[in-house]
Structures are given as structure tokens and as C-alpha cells.
Amino acid sequence: MNRLQALALALALAGAAAPALAQEFKAGDITVDKAWARATPKGAEVGAAYFVIHNNGATPERLTGGSADFATVEIHEMKTDSGVMKMAELKNGLNIPAHATIRLAPGGYHVMFTHLTKPLAKGDKVKATLTFDPAGSVEVEFPVEEVGASGPMPTKGGAMGGMKM
Ligand SMILES: [Cu+2]
């Protein structure tokens, strides 16, 4: 291994150990971690957030919804129906069986921020409260990332998006 390769490896290892997504949020037997929200193009009315839920208890839990001061919080699921990706609100919430870990990720379960009052900009941190039954409510901080973004790219200058507001 030459010096450049060694440097690259060191950087890769440092990146893997980065604590950026390591923050944990707890309510009763529930732990939420690896939270992030996807950056939105200017003028977008919806955004998505993802995280991992751990049920550390022997009682089944349910994510029933949440609230935020910049949007309405809904629990959604992406599903492939006859080869077409469709999104649906989980009106009855998301079940988290006892001792289970449920991952919300692009293409699957997610929290949808609707009626956004501001764009979610990369580098921002937004806070939303998630409500679990029976564990209760927990405020979670979502760093805004462009990682895995699959929505439309922001347009130059955002003139169209600006008009939509
Ligand atoms: Cu959705």
C-alpha cells in the first residue's frame, strides 16, 4: 500500500465512524436513531424523513403520528403494486412488534412532511415530535441530507418553485 492508498483508507475509516447520524432519541421502550430528512426543491409542498425505530420492550408499540411547526406529519408506506410504486398513508400507524427494529428508508416506510411552510435545505436541522402508543412522544432532530434524493432536482434560480408559493 502506498501513502495515497493509506490516506484514502484512513479517510474511509474515519468516515465510517463519523457520529453524524448516531444521535438517539428515547420515549419509554422506544429508541429512534439514524434520523434524517431529504432536502426539498424550492417550492415543494412535501418532504420525507427516515429513521430507525427500536422497540426495546416486551410490549408491541405503534407509531401513530406526530407534529412539527413547519409541516403536517404523516406516516406513509411505498409499495410496489403491479410493478408500479405507490405511496399510501398508514392511517392506523406503523406497528413495531416487541423487541423489533423497524427501518424507515427510501422506497419503504417514511414520515411525510406535508403542507411544508419552508423548504428543507441541506445542512439544516429540523425537529418533529413522533408519537408512539403506548411509549409516548419524543422530539427527534432530523439533519437535512441530499443523500439518496430521488425527487426532482431544484431548478436554476427556482423561479417556477417561487411562483408556486
Ligand atoms: Cu409519502
Task: Identify the pLDDT of residue 162.
Answer: 32
CA 61 – ligand 1 centroid, Å: 21
For the chain, what are the domain ranges?
A: 28-141
What is the whole-number distance in angstroms between the Cα of residue 4 and the centre of ligand 1?
43
All three cell numbers of 165, joined, read 408559493
For residue 135, how far is its CA from the centre of ligand 1 (angstroms)? 24
Query: How many angstroms separate the alpha carbon of residue 83 from the centre of ligand 1?
Result: 18
How far, CA to CA in Å, does 88 sit from each of 4, 31, 57, 61, 164? 48, 25, 28, 20, 24
pLDDT tens digits, 4-38: 666 666 656 555 544 455 699 999 999 999 999 99
Q: What is the 73 CA–ligand 1 centroid distance (Å)? A: 10
Contact 66, 35 (CB under 8 A): no
Q: How far, in Å, are 35, 38, 112, 136 from residue 32 at the CA level?
A: 7, 17, 16, 13
Would you tell me which CATH number, out of the four given (1.10.10.10, 3.20.20.70, 3.40.640.10, 2.60.40.1890), belongs to the domain 28-141?
Answer: 2.60.40.1890
**Contact between 96 and 56 (Cβ < 8 Å):** no
Q: How far is the CA of 146 from the centre of ligand 1 (A)?
A: 17
Q: Which residues neighbour 11 within 8 Å (Cβ) at sequence distance 6 or greater?
A: none
The alpha carbon of 119 and the centre of ligand 1 are apart by a number of angstroms equal to 16
Q: Are 140 and 26 in contact (CB under 8 A)?
A: no
pLDDT tens for each residue of 106-148: 999 999 999 999 999 999 999 999 999 999 999 999 999 985 5
Question: What confidence score (pLDDT) does residue 1 get?
Answer: 65
Give the model confidence (pLDDT) of 75-96 as tens digits: 999 988 899 989 999 999 999 9
Angle at 122 (CA atoms; ends 40, 88), nearest 5 degrees: 35
